[in-house]
Structure 1
């Protein structure tokens, strides 16, 4: 299973009804220190879910780091944008 598919499955398993977008930005970092040897080294993950309601930005990021602990170990960089549906509409 590709890493993006594994990430999406884990997020959806934990958060349920969420919108997940994963963008592979590795090509923008070819030749950078830390990217060598990784087929996928840099990902941008956007998750829209009301599961985040009442959570601080830090709590949301900690949650995603817990969910994706194994996958994060295989990456050089992962960036998150984590919002609720109401935050997205504003």
Structure 2
């Protein structure tokens, strides 16, 4: 399973989102800091789920990081998050 697929699987399980887009942007950062050569180091996530209602931006980001888990977060150099309820 790719990291993008793992991100999607974990976020779907945790939030049952009505919208989820996981984009691997690693090719845009090839040769830059944080490029580990795997082609799976930089990601952008757009997620919409009712579970985020009433949470501020920091709480939403923390919830996503918790859902992904320290193992997966530790493998990712950059994770851009666009989160809303």
In the alignment, does 2:62 pair up with 1:71?
no
Q: Distance between the aligned counterparts of 1:76 and 1:38, measured in 2?
A: 11
Q: Distance between the aligned counterparts of 1:14 and 1:37, measured in 2?
A: 29
Q: Structure 1 residues 17 and 79, CA, compared in 2 at 3 Å: closer, same or farther?
A: closer
Task: Give 1:21's aligned residue.
Answer: 21
RMSD: 1.2
Task: Give 1:34's aligned residue.
Answer: 34
- Consecutive unaligned residues in structure 2, runs of 5 or more: none
Task: Give 1:80's aligned residue.
Answer: 81
Greater radius of gyration (CA) = 1
Name the TM-score, length of structure 2 as normaliser.
Answer: 0.89
- Consecutive unaligned residues in structure 1, runs of 5 or more: 85-90
Greater displacement, 59-68 / 28-37? 28-37
Runs of 4+ deviating beyond 2 Å:
36-39
Q: Secondary structure at the match of 2:36?
A: coil
How many Å apart are 1:17 and its aligned residue? 3.8
How many Å apart are 1:2 and its aligned residue? 1.3
Q: Secondary structure at the match of 1:39?
A: coil
